[in-house]
Amino acid sequence: MAKGLARNESEFRSILDMLGVTVANNSPKTTNRDWIYSLSDDPKCKVTGGRLSYLYSRRSLENGFKNMAAHHPDASSSRAILKTAKDAIVLNDLAELDRMAKALETCSRFGIRGISEYDARIKMVEKHIEGGNGSEAEHKSLETLREARDFTAANGLLPRTSAKSKNAKTKADASHSTRKKKTVEKHKHTRRKAQRGNREKGER
């Protein structure tokens, strides 16, 4: 969850601290720089990021922070996600945290920022499968998308339409309006030209 929310190392450490996880640098003597994760209430229970998987290694995370194209929820969604996470922590609902982490991972994987984008992606995969071209991986992908969509919608973690989609629609509407205006002006110019031609013929 912290990986999906954080935009930099400071945010990453802060979110993990809220979740009761401490992050420390490994020994400077080691050739592979990594982070060590441990439980705040049980410091002896610790593991390096690389041992969890490459995705949680220091190198992978730092590359992700540098990648400006990486998906991150907007400010409103981030607040909703953190609130849900805090509630789950208070109730010690690890299953809820796990579902949230999977939903955030799905958002990041498909670059989804709104429920409408989930619906569009699901519809596209369904159409491909119905056409008889769906692989086992696509069936699993569809199931993952549906579960993540339902979870984020039920908990209000994402807006119905993302700001990105709204901006794209606004630009499309503006572009359509401009093209329509140019077409009207072109027709007017053509009519005026024809009228001038008719007047000139009448004068002759």
User: Each residue of 115-136: pLDDT tens digit?
Assistant: 999 999 999 999 989 887 778 8
Top pLDDT among 34 and 109 is at 34
User: What's phi and psi for 8, nearest 5 deg?
Assistant: -155, 175
Nearest-angstrom CA–CA distance, 96 and 98: 5
The pLDDT of residue 198: 66
Summarize the confidence of residues 169-185 as an average pLDDT: 60
Summarize the confidence of residues 32-53 as an average pLDDT: 90
Domain ranges of the chain: 1-70, 72-161
Top pLDDT among 204 and 29 is at 29
Q: What is the largest CA-CA distance in the chain?
A: 103
The pLDDT of residue 165: 47
Give every strand in the sheet of 21-25, ordered side by side: 21-25, 35-39, 42-48
Q: How confident is the model at residue 72 (pLDDT cuts 50, 70, 90)?
A: low
Q: How confident is the model at residue 47 (pLDDT cuts 50, 70, 90)?
A: very high
Burial class (CB in 10 A: 0-12, 13-18, 19+), 148: buried
